[in-house]
Amino acid sequence: MKEIRLTPIGVVKNSVREPRFGNFKGEISEIIVKKEFAEALDGIDGYSHVIIVYWMDRVKGHVIKHRPQGNPDVPIVGIFACRCPQRPNPIAITTVKLLEHKGNRIKVKGLDILNGTPVIDVKPYWPQYDFVKGGKIPNWVNKLEF
């Protein structure tokens, strides 16, 4: 299989300095996009939400099986069956509310990542692709902190 190279397009600035479980709904973050990509944000203002794709650069190693959040009330599952960070490629996504766009910066609400995390893409939320009517999740997911 061919090697894949990723280059960050920007970085996150917020007040989150230490990893934590949940409690990100009110978190305000600023994504500072490299100046060379500033024009790539043109038109983003028309959206209420965006999807932030980022590289969890502080994750050390990966696992195959994991108990999400270490919670004894949930089962041990494969890493691809949860949204835990210890993945073979620590890529993550979060859909957030877009609050503001100025130049090469966007301000968002609800981003669940640490200050200084590299951003690898910003995508607009499109219900045609991103909304799933009647989506199903295992019951144990409701026992986790969000």
* Mean pLDDT of the residues in the chain: 94
Q: Which residues contact 26 (CB under 8 A, 6 or more apart)?
A: 109, 110
Q: What is the pLDDT of residue 23?
A: 78
Please state the three-class secondary structure of 76-137 as a single string. CEEHHHCCCCCCCCCEEEEEEEEEEEECCEEEEECCCCCCCCEEEEEEECCHHHHCCCCCCC
- Topology (CATH level 3) of domain 10-55+89-127: Elongation Factor Tu (Ef-tu); domain 3 (2.40.30)
The pLDDT tens digits for 5-58 are 999 999 999 998 887 777 788 999 999 999 999 999 999 999 999 999 999 999
Predicted TM-score (pTM) of the model is 0.92
Domains of the chain: which residue ranges?
A: 10-55+89-127
The pLDDT tens digits for 59-100 are 999 999 999 999 999 999 999 999 999 999 999 999 999 999
Q: What is the pLDDT of residue 73?
A: 95
Q: What is the pLDDT of residue 16?
A: 87
